[in-house]
């Protein structure tokens, strides 16, 4: 009984019925259909490895950029600890100059001493400027918690929150805070 609809040709040209064709396919050695499957798997692996390579390259670039930034920051801010320590010298020099009265400034025996202190202060400020250390402006400005530390409130006719007194100067080193300015802030007068 041969039905041409259910017959499948065999290599020698003789037709097989559907049942025989299925049995023959089941008995066929594994691997005849695998080359295509293996090619698909290899293509997927290649795509996966290419993606992993792209991620690795991106991560390497990020690490390199981060390293370069850290090196630049280390060079730019290497003197931060020293700068903080030297601020007390600047404060004491400023206090010494402020303590000298007008009468003493005019006295001939104090003039060289005063001139020496003023020259020292100018040189210190010049060194600060060369290294990117700047004094934070305070008096008359609104309180900025990123640069000012409010120490007290002072009754005043100024706008509340305006800095009216500076107890200690604040300093920045380039874009980093070395020390906040300690200030007195205006409050509404009672």
pLDDT digits (tens, 9 = 90+) for 25-57: 445 455 455 778 999 999 999 999 999 999 999
**SS3 state of residue 163:** strand
What digits encode the pLDDT tens for the residues 105-130?
888 888 888 999 999 999 999 999 99
Is residue 118 within 8 A of residue 98, CB to CB? The reply is no
Antiparallel, parallel or unpaired: β 148-156 and 181-188: parallel
> Are the CB atoms for 44 and 50 separated by under 8 Å?
no
Please say whether the beta carbons of 8 and 15 come within 8 A. Answer: yes
Q: Distance (Å, rounded) from C-alpha 187 to C-alpha 190?
A: 9
């Amino acid at each position: 009984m041969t039905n041409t609809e259910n017959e499948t040709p065999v290599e020698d040209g003789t037709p097989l019925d559907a049942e025989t064709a299925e049995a023959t396919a089941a008995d066929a050695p594994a691997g005849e259909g695998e080359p295509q499957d293996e090619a698909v798997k290899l293509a997927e692996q290649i795509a996966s490895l290419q993606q992993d390579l792209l991620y690795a390259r991106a991560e390497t670039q990020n690490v390199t950029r981060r390293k370069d930034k850290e090196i630049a920051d280390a060079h730019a801010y290497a003197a931060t600890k020293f700068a903080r320590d030297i601020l007390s010298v600047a404060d004491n020099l400023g206090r010494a100059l402020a303590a000298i009265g007008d009468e003493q400034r005019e006295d001939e025996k104090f003039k060289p001493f005063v001139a020496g202190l003023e020259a020292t202060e100018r040189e210190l400020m010049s060194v600060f400027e060369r290294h990117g250390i700047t004094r934070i402006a305070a008096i008359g400005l609104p309180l900025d918690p990123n640069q000012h530390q409010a120490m007290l409130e002072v009754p005043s006719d100024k706008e509340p929150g305006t800095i009216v007194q500076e107890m200690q100067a604040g300093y920045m080193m380039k874009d980093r805070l070395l020390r906040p300015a300690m200030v007195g802030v205006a409050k509404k007068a009672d």
